[in-house]
Amino acid sequence: MNNINSLPATDNKLPEILFITSYPPRECGIATYSQDLVKALNNKFSHSFQLRICALESENEKHTYTNEIKYTLDTDLPGAFTRLVKSINDDPDTRLVMIQHEFGFFAKNEDDFRQFLAALDKPVIIVFHTVLPHPDESLRINVQQLSGIAESIIVMTHSSANILMNDYGVVEEKITIIPHGTHLVPHSDKSLLKDKYKLSGKKVLSTFGLLSSGKSIETTLEALPAIVEKYPDALFLIIGKTHPSVIKQEGEKYRRMLETKVAELQLEPYVRFINNFLPLPDLLEYLQLTDIYLFTSKNPNQAVSGTFSYAISCGCPVISTPIPHAREVLQNDAGIIIDFENSLQLGEAVISLLNDEQLGKRIASNGLHRMASTAWENTAIAHAQLFEKVGNVRISLRYNIPAVNLDHLKKLTTSFGMIQFSRINQPDIKSGYTLDDNARAMIAMCQHFELTRDEADLRYIILYFNFIKYCLQSDGNFLNYVNEQKKFTEQNNVTNLADSNGRAIWALGYLISIGPLLPRELVDDAESVMQKALLNINKIHSTRAMAFAIKGLYYHNTESQSARSTSLISELASRLVQMYRHETDKEWQWFESYLTYANSILPEAMLCAWLATGEPLYKKVAKSSFDFLLSKTFREDRIKVISNKNWLQKEGGLVLPATGGEQPIDVAYTVLALSKFYEVFKDEEYLHKMEISFDWFLGNNHLHQIIYNPCTGGCYDGLEENYVNLNQGAESTVSYLMARLTIEKKFAGANDIILPMATGSTAGLKEHSLQLNRQNQLAGV
């Protein structure tokens, strides 16, 4: 490869962002960081911009790259900077340059580097991976000059931002804090992973990273004798090869010193070197099986550590020396901080955690919640939003649609039904089961089967149906709450179960609506159960229960037309009309004097009632009430559903809803309703809002964080004011899946086309709809 290597021009007009950074196969922390960031950005925003790489090289660092690499820059080569700046300035596709900065990269040619930046006619973002406090005059001027040229600066900790402002005089407005990204992991069973790596029965301590003396691994080795005396089943894993730069300078001197110390302290049975640069999946498994992670860097100026970030995100309790990153992240019982090179403190901390399993779990849980916002998906969102703001790049963010993933739904499902709650992504069988969750799950699996015809879905549809049937009582009513022992709980006697009964009718009606695709005996059984349930349906007066029932009756009628069902729809819809007339006025077009939960169900049910009966009043009420609701939940291209912290009251002056307390189920119901309204009214604004609503799960919310976890296939339980609830229970997971499959169906059914269940872009929904309409016209449909 030449020192400056250009890719051929393409017809793709997406704006191009050039990363100047070290990059794999080069082995260094920033290379790995950049690869992870590029992958995350492409996974989230491949329809928004293109990423290209200029790989940093030197006389001692030459590599063969993939075609991701557009340029290489040999920082030791005279003239290389001049040639690169000309190539970038002459390239109309390159709109933005982002530089991953480490002082060592440019140490031999700092003047050339500064001149290169000054000569660029594209906006520049600089990411400072190291920010040194108390600089001498030369360093201070250097950083000030770099900062002055950059349009924006990224650092990874508040400490680094404060140093830039206080010690270098960089203005706060130029600085953006984006934490080091971390990987989402499935939080696999620790004992199974220990079996896999032949570590069963061990209390695993670990550290990882490219070895150098700065990591001070000897701090742990000197603490081990006291640890293994009390816990002879302890094993310390030292994961990682020696840093390539260290190898070139001194060979394996540091590793040999560690090996000698292990022998001197007679620790051979308690220490294992894994002298490899592990593939990421293997590394993450080692971290998930780790009982305590040890970070012992002796560099007080190390701004950030990706290694302990990864460890925390894998659920490890962490013991760390007090680098600035650790002091920020591990406060408030999210980890244990020890002094630099203090083996006594480290040993005591390890023993305290091994003595108290609950303390370790609490620290791990606190750390995991602290690091949730740093998932690479969220880091990608933060970078993309910055790209939008910088210069005149004119990037329009379009979130990619994740592939459909049923893993967590299936994980929550036993041979009896779907478990109600999870702790993170581990099903909590003690929470039991509910009719609500199993009814929704049956609808979701019917949706999936409709789209895929996957015979494996039938097992789950039948299982959830059998649970619904199990909850049906002899009087035609359903109970909702079932415990781990499959017994109905006392909660059924103290809770209003009207909504649950309505949901069951919705689910049964939906199953019957796809009857031609299902085994006949299953459909007949569902019909029988539904008819029993309908004996009491006109006794229901709960607003949402009536709406759920209308939806079920509507879907039933699409396949099995019944005068009785149509009559029941009219009866229930007329009740809702009376409620609407009682409450509505010029400023308030709603069925109640407040907006609470599952609001979208009500206008959607009225629209279904019109579709079933042809009564124009139902359609009028449906549209006016839905447009009123949308006016209260959409603003500035973002959905903000009514908070469960406080409902929106008619008599409360129409104040805006509280921040936080947003539930995935409310967003999902909005997606379902928007789909139905677009189907009827063909108003592109409904389609646009459908896109915005689904993007809420992907990060378009007030925290700019993912609510759907693409690693597990689960959905987080709620969006609060300052954090995301990481538990992935049945309600949220199934709600997301219903929304995801609604989007899939909306743009797959026009010509009997089944779209691949893969990544797309929500911003392409309108384009896809127009394309299908054109195809229909050409086909004479």
d(CA 134, CA 167): 6
* SS3 label, residue 323: coil
What pLDDT is attached to residue 123?
A: 96
Task: For residue 377, count CB atoms less than 10 angstroms from its CB and return exposed for 0-12, middle for 13-18, buried for 19 or more.
Answer: buried
The per-residue pLDDT for range 526-543, each reduced to its tens digit, is 999 999 999 999 899 999
**What is the reported pLDDT for 395?**
86
Mean pLDDT, residues 154-160 taken together:
96
Mean pLDDT calculated for residue range 273-293: 95
Amino acid at 58: S
Output the pLDDT for position 12.
57
766 has a pLDDT exceeding 60: no
Q: Contact at 8 Å (CB) between 32 and 40?
A: no
Dihedral, CA atoms, 299, 304, 310, 314, nearest 10 degrees? Answer: 90
pTM exceeds 0.85, yes or no? yes
Per-residue confidence band for 753, with pLDDT thresholds at 50, 70 and 90: very low
For residue 762, what pLDDT band results from cuts at 50, 70 and 90? low
Q: How confident is the model at residue 657 (pLDDT cuts 50, 70, 90)?
A: low
Contact by Cβ (8 Å): 181, 36: yes
Does position 574 have pLDDT exceeding 60, yes or no? yes
Strands 718-719 and 724-725: antiparallel
SS (H, E, C) 558-608: HHCCCHHHHHHHHHHHHHHHHHHHHHCCCCCCCCCCEECCCCCHHHHHHHH
Give the whole-angstrom CA distance, residue 267 versus residue 270.
5
How confident is the prediction for the chain on average, in pLDDT? 92
Residues paired with 401 in a beta bridge: 760
Nearest Cα neighbor of 468 from 530, 556, 538 is 530
Phi-psi region of 477 (alpha: psi -120 to 50; beta: other; left: phi over 0): beta
Q: Considering Cα of 387, then 392, then 393, then 397, what sign does the dihedral take?
A: positive
Quickly state the pLDDT bin for 761 (edges 50, 70, 90): low
Higher pLDDT, 131 or 392: 131
Does the structure show a pLDDT above 50 at 752?
Answer: no
pLDDT band, very low/low/confident/very high, at 260 (cuts 50, 70, 90): very high
pLDDT at 108: 84
Q: Name every residue whose Cβ is closer than 8 Å to that of residue 482 and which is 6 or more positions away in sequence.
A: 417, 432, 433, 434, 435, 470, 471, 488, 489
Amino acid, single-letter form, for residue 369: H
42-46, 103-107, 333-337, 639-643: range with lowest mean pLDDT: 103-107
What mean pLDDT comes out for the span 712-734?
A: 97
Return the residue matching tokens 């538990």.
Answer: 727
74 HSE (CA, 13 A, CB side): 16
Q: Which residue has the tokens 């911009």?
A: 49
pLDDT category at 301 given cuts 50, 70, 90 is confident
Q: How confident is the model at residue 11 (pLDDT cuts 50, 70, 90)?
A: very low
Average pLDDT over residues 135-150: 96
pLDDT digits (tens, 9 = 90+) for 186-223: 998 999 999 999 999 999 999 999 999 999 999 999 99
CA pair distance 38, 376, nearest whole angstrom? 10
How far is residue 80 from each of residues 106, 113, 234, measured CA to CA in Å? 12, 10, 52
Residue labelled with tokens 């210069």:
391
Q: Which amino acid is at 312?
A: I
What's the whole-number mean pLDDT along residues 349-375? Answer: 95
- Could you tell me which residues come within 8 angstroms of residue 556 by beta carbon, excluding any fewer than 6 positions away? 508, 509, 512, 513, 530, 562, 565
Distant-in-sequence, close-in-space partners of 450: CB < 8 Å, separation ≥ 6 = 514, 517, 745
Q: What is the pLDDT of residue 139?
A: 96
Q: How many CB atoms lie within 10 A of CB 88?
A: 21
- Residue 618 has what pLDDT? 98
Please list the residues that pair with 635 across neighbouring strands: 638
pLDDT digits (tens, 9 = 90+) for 370-386: 999 999 999 999 999 99
Buried b (16+ CB within 10 A) or exposed e, 285-315: bbbbbbbbbbbbbeeeebbbbbbbbbbbbbb
pLDDT score of 774? 37
592-651 pLDDT per residue, tens: 999 999 999 999 999 999 999 999 999 999 999 999 999 999 988 999 999 988 888 888
Residue 763 pLDDT class (50, 70, 90 cuts): low
Q: What is the tens place of the pLDDT at every residue in 399-440?
A: 999 999 999 999 999 999 999 999 999 999 999 999 999 999
Residue 101 has pLDDT above 50, yes or no: yes
pLDDT of residue 394: 80
DSSP secondary structure letter of residue 150: -
The angle at the Cα of 577, spanning 571 to 579, to the nearest 5 degrees, equals 110
Q: Are 610 and 622 in contact (CB under 8 A)?
A: yes
Looking at residue 75, its pLDDT comes to: 92
The secondary element (H helix, E strand) that includes residue 495 is none
Q: Is 695 helix (H, G, I), strand (E, B) or coil?
A: helix
Cα dihedral 255, 256, 261, 263 sign: positive
Write down the pLDDT at residue 14. Answer: 92
Is residue 340 within 8 A of residue 319, CB to CB? The reply is no
Q: What is the pLDDT of residues 485-502, one digit of tens each?
A: 999 999 999 999 999 999
Please tell me the distance from the alpha carbon of residue 740 to that of residue 775, in angstroms, as a whole number: 24
Task: State percent of the chain over pLDDT 70.
Answer: 93
**Phi, then psi, of 596 in degrees rounded to 5:** -125, -120
* Contacts (Cβ under 8 Å, ≥6 apart) of 547: 502, 576, 601, 602, 604, 605
Quote the pLDDT of residue 303.
82
Confidence of residue 759 (pLDDT cuts 50, 70, 90): very low
> What angle (nearest 5°) sits at the alpha carbon of residue 445, between those of residues 440 and 449?
150
